[in-house]
Amino acid sequence: MIAVQSIHPSSYYQPSIFEQEQRNVFEKNWIFAGFKDQVINNNDYITVQIGTTPVVIQNFKGEINALLNICSHRKAKLKTASHGNSPLVCPYHCWSYKKNGDLAGIPQNKTDFGLDEQAKKSLALRRFELAICGNLMFVRIIKQQESLEAFLGPYFALLQHVSTEFTDPVQEGNYLWQTNWKIACETVLEVYHVAGIHPETFAKFAKAECDIEHFNGHSTGHTPLQDTPKQWWKKARKLLKLTQNETYTEYNHFFIYPNLAIGLTNGSLMSLQTYEPLAPCQSRLNFHLRMMRRTDGTHSSDVIKAAVQLNFTQFNHTILEEDRVVAESCQSNMPLTDTPGLLGKCEDRIKHFHTAWRQDMTHITEGK
């Protein structure tokens, strides 16, 4: 037999497994947290949830740090928005924090709290490891030996290149899927389903063949584009004065374990997605669409972008909806069966994903 077994159906819905993977998969690995250019100015911040840990990533006069997004006073969220620009001050009673998480100020400290320097120090926010690859920021909640460079292996240079080429933001958003986060990831790790699920969309866009490479749980799928989208993008590039990435000119898809996916179309458009676990049977798919740099170094005008966007963002939406429906169908059937599914050779990227997941899940859980 060439095929291999998928992970057990219960892995997709059992609360105990979900809890364990929050820690072993999400808190112990480097997780993509956002683009560096989202926090380019002093006091710019973004917020993200990694495993069970809410994190704020903020620019403090040029230094970017990742800190626990929970106030030490009475546990309010320090930043409630997904992004913004303001100093790190709690909205509840205005305790303020320094770049390393230490307390900067406590209103009425002398008269009402009496906290000396040592007591203040013990109330510092937890600070997390943050590493940068090109324009991408990764955060790790539980300290480990492995550097981001070692974790990504050959994908470090690749992401560095890609993330600094596709810099023009077009659209971002999210979808709520009633599926486990792993099922959501699996929808983008093979093109075997294209004939069945996307006959009118993806099938007309790319050929259902895939050249696979991998490094640990990370993998690549190179899929040749059909002629029509190539012609469309050629015209769009001319209209938008876009450069074309010379290395990746087909549909080139990269998966960075455990939950980051990057799809490149004809060296012109990057679709970056993360699959965020919300509950055992619920995940949020966050997406960012970015185009290649313009030939003159500026960003395209909003009017021109909007016209072109209409075409490809709708296309993106339709494909995602087709995937969501079938993913939710698989999810709803997982508790009704005890037999693991099968993965064919064409689904090898899922096999690599599962191997890394199995390895993480068998690690002994140590103290936080």
Minimum gap (Å) between residue 19 Cβ and ligand FES: 27
Return the H-helix or E-strand segment holding 147: none
How remote is the C-alpha of 99 from its chain's centroid?
A: 25
- Closer residue to ligand FES, CB minimum distance, 95 or 357: 95
- Closer residue to ligand FES, CB minimum distance, 71 or 152: 71
Read off the tokens for 201: 């969309």
| Phi, then psi, of 267 in degrees rounded to 5 | 60, 25
- Closer residue to ligand FES, CB minimum distance, 54 or 169: 54
Minimum gap (Å) between residue 90 Cβ and ligand FES: 3
Read off the tokens for 31: 């997780």
- Quickly count: other Cβ atoms within 10 Å of residue 165's Cβ: 22
Minimum gap (Å) between residue 196 Cβ and ligand FES: 51
Pick from 128, 137, 129, 110: nearest CA to 39: 137
How far apart CA 53 and CA 55 sit, in angstroms, is 6
Q: Which residues are at the interface with ligand FES (CB under 6 A)?
A: 71, 73-74, 76, 90, 92-93, 95
Minimum gap (Å) between residue 151 Cβ and Fe ion: 27
Minimum gap (Å) between residue 74 Cβ and ligand FES: 4
- Type of residue numbered 159: L
How far apart CA 127 and CA 100 sit, in angstroms, is 7
Return the H-helix or E-strand segment holding 315: helix 302-333
Minimum gap (Å) between residue 127 Cβ and ligand FES: 18
- Closer residue to Fe ion, CB minimum distance, 183 or 256: 183
Minimum gap (Å) between residue 42 Cβ and ligand FES: 22
- Closer residue to ligand FES, CB minimum distance, 31 or 125: 125
Q: How far is CA 88 from CA 67, 183, 332, in A?
A: 10, 37, 42
- Closer residue to ligand FES, CB minimum distance, 103 or 334: 103
- Which of Fe ion, ligand FES, none is residue 74 near (CB under 5 to 8 Å by kind)? ligand FES
> Which stretch, 26-34, 75-83, 204-212, 320-328, contacts Fe ion (CB under 5 A)?
320-328
- Which of Fe ion, ligand FES, none is residue 210 near (CB under 5 to 8 Å by kind)? none
Pick from 221, 222, 262, 223: nearest CA to 351: 221
Q: Are 28 and 142 in contact (CB under 8 A)?
A: yes
Q: Quick one: residue 120, left, alpha or beta (phi over 0 = left, psi -120 to 50 = alpha)? A: alpha
- Which of ligand FES, Fe ion, none is residue 323 near (CB under 5 to 8 Å by kind)? Fe ion
* 323 is a site residue for Fe ion (CB under 5 A): yes
- Closer residue to ligand FES, CB minimum distance, 104 or 157: 104
Read off the tokens for 72: 């030490």
- Which of ligand FES, Fe ion, none is residue 250 near (CB under 5 to 8 Å by kind)? none
Binding site for Fe ion (CB under 5 A): 323
